[in-house]
A = this chain, B = another copy of it.
């Protein structure tokens, strides 16, 4: 485990992990858009290239933010899901959503727009708690084969 952190600042180190073009987009897709399989991600509106996705997923699994499993119903697909550690990124995603909602107003025509999600400054704590609880609930009631 070589240290690939720029320096010993925690925020900077967090950005060494999360601060690239795709990592947080992938986590957003899992958390808010119900994406699960390799194909879900490559077919998303962001259209991540397969080679990039492979590398990012590998990193996320190594960091224990995402875990890989298989669904018994569909043995050909891989089921990517967030770990507890991955779920702890939810507040960052929500703050990004709120910031975009306030600052990038002109382009708020999308599905994951805060208002359409029922998200705003005053309910964000509760929103995050529900989001995480719902995700855990969904995971707990999903049959999958750990790999």
A residues within 8 Å of B by Cβ? 5-21, 24-25, 28, 32, 45-47, 85, 88-89, 91-93, 95-104, 107-114
Contacts and interface: CB of A to CB of B under 8 A. Distances in A.
Given A21-B20, A25-B15, A8 B99 contact: no
Nearest to A48: B6
Given A11-B112, A12-B25, A20 B20 contact: yes
A78 to B, nearest CB: 23
B10 A97 contact: yes
Contacts of A47: 6-7
Contact of A46 (B6, B93, B102): B6
B10 A110 contact: yes
B99 A89 contact: yes
A15 B17 CA distance: 14
Given A111-B9, A112-B9, A103 B91 contact: no
Contacts of A21: 15-16, 19-20
A7 B21 CA distance: 13
Given A11-B25, A12-B28, 14 more contacts: A7-B45, A8-B109, A9-B28, A9-B112, A10-B110, A10-B114, A11-B32, A11-B93, A14-B97, A88-B103, A91-B95, A92-B95, A92-B96, A95-B95
A100 B28 contact: no
Contacts of A10: 97, 100-101, 104, 107-108, 110, 112-114
